[in-house]
Amino acid sequence: MTAELDKAVLLQLQFTPLFTGLADRDMRELLAGAEVRVLPHEHLLFEAGCEAGDFYVVLDGHVELSVDCDGRRSVVEVARKSAVLGDAAMFAGGGHLTAARVLSGATVLAIPAATFLRRLDERLDILLHMLSTMSFRLRMLIRQIAELKLKTTAQRLGSFLLTLVEAPSGRAEVRFPYDKKLVADELGMKPESLSRALGKLAKVGVDSRPDNLVVVADVGRLRDFCVEDDLG
């Protein structure tokens, strides 16, 4: 990494759960040998079952995580900016649980797993910090799974759209960041169910327009709809 790029990457890592709260000096030490890679559409970062030689932080773009179920690919998640990929395989040993495929191009930070683990062996304080952040991520994942079971399809889609909205209130315009079929897979629904969910969201001021554009008339109203009968 160049000095200029290194500084920008370190700043972005401050917003990545695995590295949040770490001093620049500690991150530089952990990232020895790491490199920024600009990857094309459909590039395969790793396959399920493969050993974790590197793990990754998504700096820009999207990466699809999927598993093979009886010959059919099932999308587990679409990782976005600041997501960490492959860390579970690195910490637990063995192979990756999912495959990771780049969507429409992505920039990632590739971190050598062996070097990273050796550095952690010398820094128990950093290791404990990372365990706490991984525990938080696990709780969030459990909550997401519960929401898939308890929320309606419209609420799930509404919650997804809210993750794309920057304004806390008022009117907002967002675009689906990738193909709607992939969005449906990620949310655990069929494409036709997503279309019906968009129709239901129209009643709370969500207008689906051409070119993947979605206009939210009132962000607060959509948020209230998505938390109705929520988990608390």
Token readout for 3 is 């000095």
Does 58 have pLDDT greater than 80?
yes
List the alpha helices (DSSP H) in the chain.
3-13, 24-30, 87-92, 113-121, 124-150, 153-164, 180-186, 191-201, 219-227
The last residue of one of the domains, among 74, 103, 135, is 135
Q: How far apart are CA 186 and CA 75, in angstroms?
A: 6
Among 171, 191, 175, smallest CA distance to 183 is for: 191
The CATH number assigned to the domain holding 65 equals 2.60.120.10
- Given 135, 159, 177, which residue is the final one in a domain? 135
71 and 21 co-located in one domain: yes
Number of domains into which the chain is organized? 2
Confidence of residue 2 (pLDDT cuts 50, 70, 90): very low
Same-domain check for residues 75 and 159: no
- Determine the Cα angle at 85 with ends 79 and 152, to 5°: 35
How confident is the model over 203-223, as pLDDT tens digits?
Answer: 999 999 999 999 999 999 999
**Which of 79, 107, 135 finishes a domain?**
135
* Closest to 181 in 3D by CA, of 102, 97, 78, 98: 78
| Both structure tokens of 4 | 């200029």
The answer to whether residues 127 and 70 belong to one domain is: yes
Q: Is 83 exposed, middle or buried (0-12, 13-18, 19+ CB in 10 A)?
A: buried
Q: Is residue 167 a contact partner of residue 219, using CB atoms and an 8 Å limit?
A: yes
- In this structure, are 105 and 12 located in the same domain? yes
Span 177-192, mean pLDDT? 89
- CA 125 to CA 92: how far, in whole Å? 19
Encoding tokens for residue 28? 């530089």
Statement: the pTM of the whole predicted model exceeds 0.85: no
What CATH number is attached to the domain comprising 166? 1.10.10.10
pLDDT computed for residue 229 by the predictor: 58
Is the distance from CB of 57 to CB of 108 less than 8 angstroms?
Answer: yes
Do 124 and 194 share a domain, yes or no? Answer: no
Residues 93, 185 within the same domain:
no
Distance CA(92)–CA(79), nearest Å, equals 20
Q: Which of 8-12, 62-66, 97-101 has the lowest mean pLDDT?
A: 8-12
Asked if 13 and 125 sit in the same domain, the reply is yes
Specify whether 11 is located in the same domain as 99: yes
Examine residue 165 and state whether it is found in any structural domain, yes or no: yes
Q: Are 121 and 158 within one domain?
A: no
Q: Is residue 142 part of a domain?
A: no
Is 164 within a domain? yes
CB 139 within 8 A of CB 149: no
Averaged confidence pLDDT in the chain: 87
Q: How far apart are CA 187 and CA 61, in angstroms?
A: 19
Q: Residue 218's domain spans which residues?
A: 149-227
Do 122 and 25 reside in the same domain of the chain? Answer: yes
- Is the pLDDT at 189 greater than 60? The verdict is yes
For tokens 């404990």, the residue is 128
